[in-house]
Amino acid sequence: MNLNLTGKVVVISGGAKGIGAAISLACAAEGAIPVMLDRDSAALGQMEEEFAANEHRYGAFHCDLTDLSQCERAVQSVKENFGKIDVLVNNAGINDGVGLEKGSPERFLHSLQKNLLHYYALAHFAFPALKTSRGSIVNIASKTAVTGQGGTSGYVAAKGAILALTREWAVEFLPHHVRVNAVVPAEVMTPLYEQWLATFPNPEEKLASVVSKIPFERRMTRAEEIASMVLYLFSDQASHITGQHLYVDGGYVHLDRALS
């Protein structure tokens, strides 16, 4: 299957680590030009070294996405350096544990700034370029938006809003032939997931408990599997798919875990 991604400029927030890094690498492998926006300069440097060693075209912008002016400058820099934006992948976020009991209204607002506001900001600033390219947006959400988790109101509110905005933006972009979809992961091993596991007295036991509840093959979803869905969604092969929430989770959300 030819995804026809050669030369497409793909902006990926949080593109240097975890799921974002997997998306960046998959883009390069398919001939697209990944443009990574990330605040982790060390991770960006490692990705740059890998792309340079393999002679891939890429972009890397160090920025704090909670700063709206930096979001705007990043999008402008992409347009200046590459002349266009074909795809926006909204990915960056953190499950920060801002709940009702252990949170506060101030911390809740800050969580939304870390997990939601930059999704809107990047889409807003990229709007003219995406109209011109008749491009695509893929939003990375989370199973917590539909299952709940407990103790993480800010993150779940953001991810629920991301699912709603996927449908809203799909409608707003209809006249401009821009497609908008969301990918919904469940349990994916990333650096942030490893940090979460480390908060438990016995991380190995907790991981085994999680994996035992994943219906298909009793294993975590690989970041590369999320990336494959993302690339498919913004490829020509998905040219009539918009406003959809695609679950890549081994059946975690929708299959009866009593079967596990």
Average pLDDT in the 17-45 region?
Answer: 97
CATH homologous superfamily for the domain 9-186+223-247: NAD(P)-binding Rossmann-like Domain (3.40.50.720)
Q: Which of 119, 155, 247, 252 is catalytic?
A: 155
155 is a catalytic site residue: yes
- Six-digit token pair at 176? 């401009």
Q: How far is residue 179's CA from residue 171's CA, in Å, rounded to a whole number?
A: 9
pTM of the predicted structure, to 2 decimals = 0.96
Query: How far, rounded to the nearest angstrom, does the alpha carbon of residue 83 sit from its chain's CA centroid?
Result: 23
Average pLDDT in the 191-204 region?
Answer: 88
Closest CA to 171 of 86, 88, 90, 243: 243
Which tens digits make up the pLDDT trace of 58-103? 999 999 999 999 999 999 999 999 999 999 999 999 999 999 999 9
Q: How far is residue 138's CA from residue 147's CA, in Å, rounded to a whole number?
A: 21
Q: How far is residue 118's CA from residue 70's CA, in Å, rounded to a whole number?
A: 10
- Span(s) in the chain for CATH 3.40.50.720: 9-186+223-247
Q: Please tell me the predicted confidence (pLDDT) of residue 6.
A: 97
